[in-house]
Amino acid sequence: MWIGYTLSEKGLECGKNASLLEKMLSGLVEKPLNEVSKSVYDLIEDCKIKNINPNYKDDFIRTLEEIAICFQNECYIATITLCGKILEICLTDILQRNNIDTTNIKMIGNLIKKVKESVPNQYIDPSLESLSNIISKSRNTAVHFNEAIPIPSRDQVIMVIFATRDVVNRNLSH
């Protein structure tokens, strides 16, 4: 018994060009970039050229990359958790730039409160406190056992991502 196959023109091109083959194969498993993930990648490009503390710049940028990847793949709890990390870094940075000790300040809500108290001229979006509750709930349920894990909606995650972008952009322009 003999079975024969023929390649399409595209298949023949891929056989001659390894990078084209790689691109075509990646297209089978990767979702097309959406507007929200693209906005995070745009933020990453801004961060690469801005003066971010070199002690955490690489980790900061890598975390932003993971936010885009997690959102793109609908891993919403992970996306929100990573946004919380970025917000903690930015809020801590605001306090440290103003010579405020952050040693005993944990959690986003407490950092927001301290920034509002100690740096009154620093803009903090009023909705950030509500978003910190979404972030805390997602982080806690992801790490600790609960009978029911509330999965955030896509819209909630988009809201958290754009609030995070706003804090990062404002922090980068200090």
Q: At residue 31, does pLDDT exceed 70?
A: no
| pLDDT tens track for 113-171 | 999 999 999 988 888 888 888 888 777 776 667 667 778 889 999 999 999 999 999 88
| Confidence (pTM) | 0.77
Q: How far does CA 86 lie from the centroid of its chain?
A: 8
DSSP helix, strand, coil percent of the chain (3-state; round to 5): 70, 0, 30
| pLDDT tens track for 36-69 | 989 999 999 999 999 888 889 999 999 999 999 9
Domains, the chain, in order of start with CATH, read 33-172 (1.20.120)
**Residue entry with tokens 């009154």:** 120
What's the confidence (pLDDT) of residue 29? 57
